[in-house]
Structure 1
Amino acid sequence: MGEVAFAFRARRYSVEALRAHPPAMPLSDANRILALTRSTAYRLIAEGNYPCELIRVGGVYRVLTSELLRLLEIDDRHLVAAFEALPPALPLHAANNLLSLGRTVGYRLARQGNYPCEVLRLGGDYRIRKNDLRCLVKVPEATAQRAA
């Protein structure tokens, strides 16, 4: 593959850089990659025609990286491997990073009961189950685990 696969608005995207995105990326990043303006993207969302699956987290849209990779016909096995390396329950700040959420927004959503996954309260800590996150961002389980 070439070093630079995508170049939009003076920002370059290589396939490796695209794969380095967290499982859920901000809508603005996906729009840049797909060369969509903000108004076009929101019109497509309103019509139900945005080219990738979206999730709404804390009043903002996130694009599932796995869906964007499939749309662009780029292999997404690295996401499966990355999820396999995660512990069964993640601290809230780690889940926030995977969903491209800031710390304040993530903790506010958890306190209000509006986090997009079930939040476990263990003492003073918040935890998110890995499998709940996996289902939210639609990353499949590893093949070896599916066969078991």
Structure 2
Amino acid sequence: MAEINLDNLSEIEEIESILGLYYEARNYLESFDWCISIKQVWYDKEHGIYEKLGVFLFEIEPLNDTVDNFIWVIVGDLPSVYLDKSITTGHEALETYCELMQEWADNVKRGSPLDECYPVPVDPTIENAELLNSRTAFIRRELLMVSDE
């Protein structure tokens, strides 16, 4: 990820970057037929990186009772993911995100089937697995404060 000097961001630039991630998350969520409409949204500023990573909690009007009414969405310079309301915090959402992406990358590297993995919309190549690993390692180290040990 490119380094962003947050000290130089104006309040307007900060808002614009968050809005860009919000529209990406909203469009992603609205692409699913089980999301009828969006009622409210919250942005987890503690776990976001301007223009690069956004963690959002959406309250939606679901298609039916089998769909959760609260959905976490993670978007940015990485594959987008939605998570159900069993996740209770932005921190937990990012932890789960990293676990899902790590499982996909590990299976790609081993040549294992991806049937049981969260669907990642990129070619299952070693190069893409390594790129995903580098992003999840960064998230774990910088946002989740997990050491590489």
Q: TM-score range by the shorter chain?
A: under 0.3
| Larger RCO of the pair (alpha carbons < 8 Å, separation 6+) | 1
TM-score by length of 2: 0.28
TM-score by length of 1: 0.28
